Structure 1
Amino acid sequence: MTQVSQSFHWYLPAFALLLLASSFNCQARQEAAPNSILSYLYQESAALSADFPPADLSSSSWERERPERHRQFLEMMGFSLEQPRDAPIVRHTGTVVEEGFRIEKFFFESMPGLYVPANLYLPETSGTPVPLVLYLCGHAPGQKAHYQAHPRKLAQLGFASLIFDTVQFGEVAGHHWGPYNQGWFHWYSRGYNPAAVELWNAIRALDYLAERKEIDMENVGVTGISGGGSQTWYLAAADSRIKAAAPVCGAGTLDSQVGDRRIDGHCDCMMPHNAFQWDFTDIGALIAPRPLLIAQSDRDELYGIESTRAFHKKLASFYESLGAAGQVRLVETPGGHSYHKKSRTAIFSFFLEHLMGKDISPEELTDIETDPAALLTAEKLQVYTEGAPEEDLTPIIQDHFLEIAPAPVILNEADLLLAQRKTKDYLQRYTFGAFPDQAASFDGKEIYRTDDLAPYGNKTFSFTSEKGWRLKLNVFYRQNPEEAHPLLIVLRSPGELRWDSESFAQKIARGQNVAYLEVRGTGEVGWTPELNWHVRRAAAWTGRTLPSMQVYDALRAIAFARELPGVDPKKISIAAREGMGLAAMYAALLDGSCEKLILSNPPETHNRPSPVHGMDTALELLGVLKRTDMYQIPALLYSTQTIFLGAVPEAYLWSEKSLKAAGKNGFIRL
């Protein structure tokens, strides 16, 4: 890839291209059978895409709603802008003088220990402050050199332009790809997204530039392609200092991303942690009514042009509702995921109009410099001429950008109940925010019965957990079903051998009524392991995770079991082994009325990476570690009694200690 190549701005591994070949058409998705995970994810993403623009929208209603939507967006990114902040510390390392402009080389400290190398292009002026355009980089190695033709052209047009390295492909290498190809699905639990770091760095860059007398901060724009295109959306949505935005090849509707499996080729930074179930149009709404130019190529493997047209149409309707018709435009260009002269000159014309008040058509403008000999080498643009600061956190920023919440201090019953209430409130609002607002009718049916498998027979019931999912609860009556008796629900594990769950039940519920449940991802409602990587990423883009779906299934099964014959609704317990302990714990916590929780060798934390292929038992829940962790749940689900079969994993002793500090019983050990 040459420094000035405009043909392919996304560093896409070959295997992602192969995954894109597994796309299936819309008609096939819509006609898919029930209990299909791909059909379900498309269903949910399509619902989010269809839920825009809001009904009965007016300028006054949006003015009231926007602050909360803005707060939600920043919460999904993992930070707040409410606290006052000083301009970042900046260290200059050199200046390059070119005809008509100069390039200042420096790095700034966007947060303690995180350093960002940057080039600032400043045109020759008579001393009057000039408009600024931030150029945000996509996923191309050697970013400041690779994309230099853009800030160079902007400087020649009279703009100041800042370009800085992203975490992944800058002078110091960090990571954008966590779940994508490292197996770091625990990023979802931590609430971490590399998009948040890039957004924060851009905001901090503006904090610095606001102090520069050469910059007209009343006229600031932002643009970039691919990853830089998505960052353009984020920055304009987050920071009102942006007056005009021109994202390129950086957004599409969620139904296309998930339904066509375009997500499989995307970096993890291309969608915030979607805890509030947004489509990208919701991000665009935060930019309105400011000028917005969307540029998109018509043969982009990452964004279908039909999706972008639908995206633009929805957003244009939103702008019109705010009395800003014509302020959002779409320019289409031929070819793949790339720039084109048509898009570049349109963007330059756009910024001249909205930041300088000049009416110059794209046809009157020349293109960027494409001759490598006329551009600067990476060495000349390099900021760290003597090496990066030793303490630079860039390679490990994913472990430092967001803090994991410490365990609450439990000294008495009041502390315990307060922690329980706060945790449930947070989980229901954020981590499990994608749970349906209104539960589907169970539509329960008895589909199988026998007198052979238990003293009082066996019955299998089916019920609707959620739209698109019919589950089975297989009940073995060891006590008379004409009377109300306790019931233990055992969660089957993915990949378990025949009779594994039955052997487990014999150890913990001899003589009791027992029901077996397969939640999504297990048994009849499972899928091939190699699909897990896609499912786990696509689920997160729709505001849920595989474990959150399993928690919901278990929660619904508990509620359904209360309606069954022979069941005492006040004496339902739930049990699980190993990774399925997650679903059992959180279902018991949210239900609040389980008699017992029985665990065998449960995982101790959500903060654990997966294999690269993602075929292990998923443990991620969106943003859960910003509030709690698995080892704390047995204490927080009091008054449910927790029982351990076998050894108690060490981390869980915190829960037992907290229960005893609150004057409650500890664990029962079998």
Structure 2
Amino acid sequence: MNIYEYLCREARSITNFSLNTIDNKYKWMRERPKRWRQFIDMLGITEYIDMKDRPSLNVTITGVLDRERYVVEKLYFESLPKLYVAGNLYIPKDFSKPMPAILYLCGHARNQKYHYQAHPQRFAELGFVTLLIETIQWGEIPGYHHGTYRYGLFNWYSLGYTPTGVEVWNAIRAIDLLQSRPEVDGNRIGVTGISGGGAMTWYVSAVDDRVKACAPVCGTATIESHVCKFTINGHCDCMFWINNYMWDLTDVGALIAPRPLLIASAKRDWIFDINSVRKIYDKLKKLYDILDASDNIRLIETPGPHSYHELSRKAVFSWFLKHLRNIDIPLNEVKDIDLEHRESIDSLKVFINGIPSDERTTTVHKWFIKKTSPPNIDSREKLIEYRRKLIETLYEKTFNAFPKEPCNLDMRIELEQEAGEWLGYLIGFTSEEGWRLHIHVTRHRNAKTPTPIVLALLNPGETFR
């Protein structure tokens, strides 16, 4: 077995096991709070979610565009002090207030407010207050999504940091903003987006119960497909949580149930395999059936590549009309987006006078996960208790992927060596089922037995020293 075969085996196991133990409503109701806690922990946002008082958003409006059917407020807010989030707020005209709202989450496109503007425009025309927010990767303040993907920042894993956590937190604070607006009915909020925004739609909707309906587009796939079909190669860090508990996307989607969930995906999407989308839908459909909410989940498949399609756009508009405005109309009567009337990049720009000099967006990966304070240990008893808790936590989180039951070690000396005063042994052993490893042991020929041993861990590319 090589490393690819091993990873495929493990990924396939995660996907196949996902939700398999949930067979009745009451079992899910008991398990959901624990699973929700696990997910926010894997996102690295537990501390922020648990804050008694969230910091002020300090919303700043830098300009207003007055159009025939809606008004656009160009604004930014602070999801945390000096963590600036830029966005455009589309406010419909001629609709009775308060109105339902949509949070639109952007994918990986440059000039995001310009690129995706047709969607909030159409939502506003349909009577939804719509807030489009930028990501930290492609926004006016460019941060980093590509830590391990491009820059070799593998310490992110050690920190428990993923940009997914920042994006989810920014979206949660965007919902806070929407609920603070007098035009918005805070009990009728939906979330949607495509690609990276589609993935974030899953995550935000799973974490925040204020989301009453959601529609992820081209942002759905299993861990199995990402690993075994190499689609992971097309994704950056923001697509994944730190998977301490070995979840698949189905586990995330379960936290959305029984709220309305529309999944839209393209049949020839090169980074989100359609077969894996179907597998996720089938598993979640069973849970929705268990929760007596069969009509609240739907899958829309569209022809073509990783992109919106007229069918998916109309399905999304129709979904929110039904579940947030109680308007149920056929797809063929839903009007599509207008690509002709577009605002310029400059007209939608938020930071007209430049990026704030005190911004912490470009460095968020350095401070979002706070360092643990040194323990206060002043007795032997405290040391023993601290070590016990630390080891327990390491097994629960850091090393949770370890097999729960050790396999047969099958240790054998496979080669003996002699060089002057030194003896060498190549020892093979099975660390887990199907995975054979080797260690090289040397000792002086005159050393007494049993002999103390020093374990040397080599860096990648390093030879024995």
TM-score (norm 1): 0.66
2:190–2:211 Cα contact (<8 Å) kept: yes
Q: CA separation in 2, counterparts of 1:403 and 1:350?
A: 39
Partner SS for 1:166? coil
2:318–2:331 Cα contact (<8 Å) kept: yes
Q: Does residue 1:435 correspond to 2:426, yes or no?
A: no
Alignment correspondent of 2:100: 131
Aligned residues: 461
Alignment correspondent of 1:226: 195
1:193–1:273 Cα contact (<8 Å) kept: yes
Residue 455 of structure 1 deviates from its aligned partner by 8.4
- After superposition, the Cα gap between the structure-2 partners of 1:130 and 1:456, relative to the gap in structure 1 and judged at 3 Å, is closer
1:453–1:476 Cα contact (<8 Å) kept: no
Alignment correspondent of 1:146: 115
Q: CA separation in 2, counterparts of 1:108 and 1:456?
A: 67
Alignment correspondent of 1:398: 365
Residue 174 of structure 1 deviates from its aligned partner by 1.2
Q: CA separation in 1, counterparts of 2:345 and 2:457?
A: 56
Alignment correspondent of 1:379: 346
2:18–2:247 Cα contact (<8 Å) kept: no
Q: CA separation in 1, counterparts of 2:420 and 2:367?
A: 54
Moved more, 121-130 or 220-229: 121-130
Q: CA separation in 2, counterparts of 1:85 and 1:145?
A: 34
Deviations 1:628-647 (A, max 9, x none): xxxxxxxxxxxxxxxxxxxx
| Mapping for residues 360-509 of structure 1, pairs under 5 Å | 360-371=329-340, 374-448=341-415, 460-474=426-440, 485-488=450-453, 490-491=455-456, 493=458, 494-497=460-463, 500-501=464-465
Partner AA of 2:363 in structure 1: I
Q: Does residue 1:343 correspond to 2:308, yes or no?
A: no
| Mapping for residues 542-553 of structure 1, pairs under 5 Å | none
Q: CA separation in 2, counterparts of 1:177 and 1:358?
A: 41
Residue 330 of structure 1 deviates from its aligned partner by 0.9
Q: CA separation in 2, counterparts of 1:392 and 1:439?
A: 49
Residue 439 of structure 1 deviates from its aligned partner by 1.2
Alignment correspondent of 2:138: 169
Runs of at least 5 residues in structure 1 that lack an aligned partner in the other structure: 1-33, 502-670
Partner AA of 2:243 in structure 1: N
Residue 381 of structure 1 deviates from its aligned partner by 1.3
- After superposition, the Cα gap between the structure-2 partners of 1:475 and 1:343, relative to the gap in structure 1 and judged at 3 Å, is same
Q: CA separation in 1, counterparts of 2:416 and 2:91?
A: 79
Q: CA separation in 2, counterparts of 1:331 and 1:216?
A: 28
Partner SS for 2:401? coil
Q: Does residue 1:181 correspond to 2:146, yes or no?
A: no
Q: CA separation in 1, counterparts of 2:338 and 2:391?
A: 56
- After superposition, the Cα gap between the structure-2 partners of 1:446 and 1:126, relative to the gap in structure 1 and judged at 3 Å, is closer
Partner AA of 1:196 in structure 2: G
Alignment correspondent of 1:251: 220
Q: Percent identity?
A: 43
Deviations 1:486-530 (A, max 9, x none): 341533624344xx44xxxxxxxxxxxxxxxxxxxxxxxxxxxxx
Q: CA separation in 1, counterparts of 2:313 and 2:238?
A: 24
Partner AA of 1:63 in structure 2: M
2:23–2:290 Cα contact (<8 Å) kept: yes
2:103–2:174 Cα contact (<8 Å) kept: no
Deviations 1:90-122 (A, max 9, x none): 111121111111111211111011111121111
Alignment correspondent of 1:62: 28
Match of 1:42 among 8, 24, 30: 8
- After superposition, the Cα gap between the structure-2 partners of 1:382 and 1:458, relative to the gap in structure 1 and judged at 3 Å, is closer
Alignment correspondent of 1:76: 42
Q: CA separation in 2, counterparts of 1:51 and 1:178?
A: 30
Q: CA separation in 1, counterparts of 2:408 and 2:456?
A: 22
Alignment correspondent of 2:86: 117
Residue 477 of structure 1 deviates from its aligned partner by 6.7
1:92–1:105 Cα contact (<8 Å) kept: yes
Alignment correspondent of 2:164: 195
Moved more, 279-288 or 186-195: 186-195
Bigger Rg, which one: 1
Partner AA of 2:40 in structure 1: L
Partner SS for 1:179? coil
Partner SS for 1:438? coil
Q: Does residue 1:356 correspond to 2:321, yes or no?
A: no
TM-score (norm 2): 0.94
Deviations 1:231-270 (A, max 9, x none): 0001100000001110011120111101111111101100
Alignment correspondent of 2:295: 326
2:105–2:194 Cα contact (<8 Å) kept: yes
- After superposition, the Cα gap between the structure-2 partners of 1:453 and 1:386, relative to the gap in structure 1 and judged at 3 Å, is closer
Partner SS for 1:486? coil
Residue 383 of structure 1 deviates from its aligned partner by 1.4
Alignment correspondent of 1:516: none
Q: CA separation in 2, counterparts of 1:326 and 1:91?
A: 40
Query: Pairwise CA RMSD of aligned residues?
Result: 2.2
Partner AA of 1:84 in structure 2: K
Alignment correspondent of 1:51: 17
Q: Does residue 1:92 correspond to 2:61, yes or no?
A: yes
- After superposition, the Cα gap between the structure-2 partners of 1:448 and 1:388, relative to the gap in structure 1 and judged at 3 Å, is closer
Partner SS for 1:488? coil
Runs of at least 5 residues in structure 2 that lack an aligned partner in the other structure: none
1:293–1:329 Cα contact (<8 Å) kept: yes
- After superposition, the Cα gap between the structure-2 partners of 1:141 and 1:474, relative to the gap in structure 1 and judged at 3 Å, is closer
Residue 67 of structure 1 deviates from its aligned partner by 0.5
- After superposition, the Cα gap between the structure-2 partners of 1:39 and 1:219, relative to the gap in structure 1 and judged at 3 Å, is same
Q: CA separation in 2, counterparts of 1:438 and 1:295?
A: 40
- After superposition, the Cα gap between the structure-2 partners of 1:473 and 1:382, relative to the gap in structure 1 and judged at 3 Å, is closer
Alignment correspondent of 1:317: 286
2:266–2:301 Cα contact (<8 Å) kept: yes
Partner SS for 1:326? helix
